[in-house]
Amino acid sequence: MTIAFDEFGPKNAEPILLVSGLGVQMIRWAGPFCEMLAAQGYRVIRFDNRDAGLSTHLGDTPVIEIADLVQALGRGERTNLAYTLRDMADDAVGLLDALGIERAHVVGRSMGGMIAQLMAAEHPQCTLSLASIMSSTGNPKLPPPSPEAMSALMRPAPDPAWDEAGYLAHCVATARVISSPGFVFDENAYRSQALAELRRAHNPASFGRQLAAMITAGDRRAQLNTIVAPTLVAHGADDPLIPVVGGRDTAANIKDAKLMIIEGMGHDLPIELHETFALAIAANARRAAA
């Protein structure tokens, strides 16, 4: 498995590892945000999860139909997955090993928050602190995404090889549905982001494989109860994709976790909140030092 990454800040500083979300590339962690974190005195590392960006693509593995997967789970049947969230957490630990890093502050958003949770629970020796952003616990009793958000997420995108304009319009429309209603939606910025990711790499099948890993990850609350790293849980009050109760449930199941609920925030990280998050992540990291 080849994992692509880049870095910001001095190499001799304490590392912060940024874990990306479902189907997106590491550049979704915006460069200016990474620089803000590095300015707090940290070595900031972002990377592409397996099957995304410039990391190894698993194109020779089948994509499971999500409806079939859900039905199989309902019948109690086991399914053959290309990989699991645990595999993805092990990738992140392997990246730290390859860089000669014994311990890092781990920050994950959305699916990346779930991966970060597994790192903190199953690899405590590697985790200085944990920040779980817009994520959840796998508790089956929690409410699902809004119908609009789920519809936007699952709607097929046009093939950019034939209809690049349609593909970019699809990306912008999806982003609008899950964006933060309390902040300005910059359509041009979202289109530029989608184009940058398209130019860098395009692997649409990864979405289904990563979604299958999420769906089958199960209830993590028992594992969250074992986490000892200082933890920040941050969530948007207006998140339509992973409702805010997912963040509350995460914080309730990690001892001494700090919960930060942000009014007007949806399932994205508006530029207006970059400094807020950089300062909050650094403050949580300093809890580890204390």
20 inside domain: yes
pLDDT band, residue 59 (cuts 50/70/90): confident
Judge whether residue 289 has pLDDT over 90.
Answer: no
Judge whether residue 71 has pLDDT over 90.
Answer: no
Judge whether residue 271 has pLDDT over 80.
Answer: yes
pLDDT attached to residue 170 = 97
Structure tokens at 222: 């028992």
The Cα 235–Cα 222 span in angstroms is: 21
161 inside domain: no
178 inside domain: no
The HSE-up count of residue 154 (CA atoms within 13 Å, CB side) is 13
pLDDT attached to residue 237 = 98
Q: What is the CATH number of the domain that holds 33?
A: 3.40.50.1820
| Residue showing tokens 């903190």 | 120
119 inside domain: yes
Query: Taking the CB of residue 98, how many other CB atoms lie within 10 A of it?
Result: 10
Q: Chain-wide mean pLDDT for the chain?
A: 94
Structure tokens at 139: 């508790």
Average pLDDT in the 146-161 region?
93
pLDDT in tens, 172-187: 999 999 999 999 999 9
% pLDDT > 70, the chain: 94
Judge whether residue 267 has pLDDT over 90.
Answer: yes
pLDDT band, residue 249 (cuts 50/70/90): very high
Judge whether residue 68 has pLDDT over 70.
Answer: no
221 inside domain: yes
pLDDT band, residue 80 (cuts 50/70/90): confident
pLDDT attached to residue 8 = 98
- Measured CA to CA in angstroms, residue 105 lies from 101, 130, 155, 261 at distances of 11, 6, 35, 21
- With CA atoms as reference, report the closest residue to 214 among 145, 128, 129: 145
pLDDT attached to residue 82 = 86
Beta bridge mates, 262: 236
More confident residue, 223 or 80: 223
268 inside domain: yes
- With 0-12 / 13-18 / 19 or more C-beta atoms within 10 angstroms meaning exposed / middle / buried, residue 24 is buried
pTM given for the model:
0.95
pLDDT in tens, 11-32: 999 999 999 999 999 999 999 9
163 inside domain: no
275 inside domain: yes
Query: Taking the CB of residue 11, how many other CB atoms lie within 10 A of it?
Result: 10
What's the number of domains the chain is made of? 1
pLDDT in tens, 94-144: 999 999 999 999 999 999 999 999 999 999 999 999 999 999 999 999 999
Domain containing residue 63? 5-143+204-289
pLDDT attached to residue 215 = 87
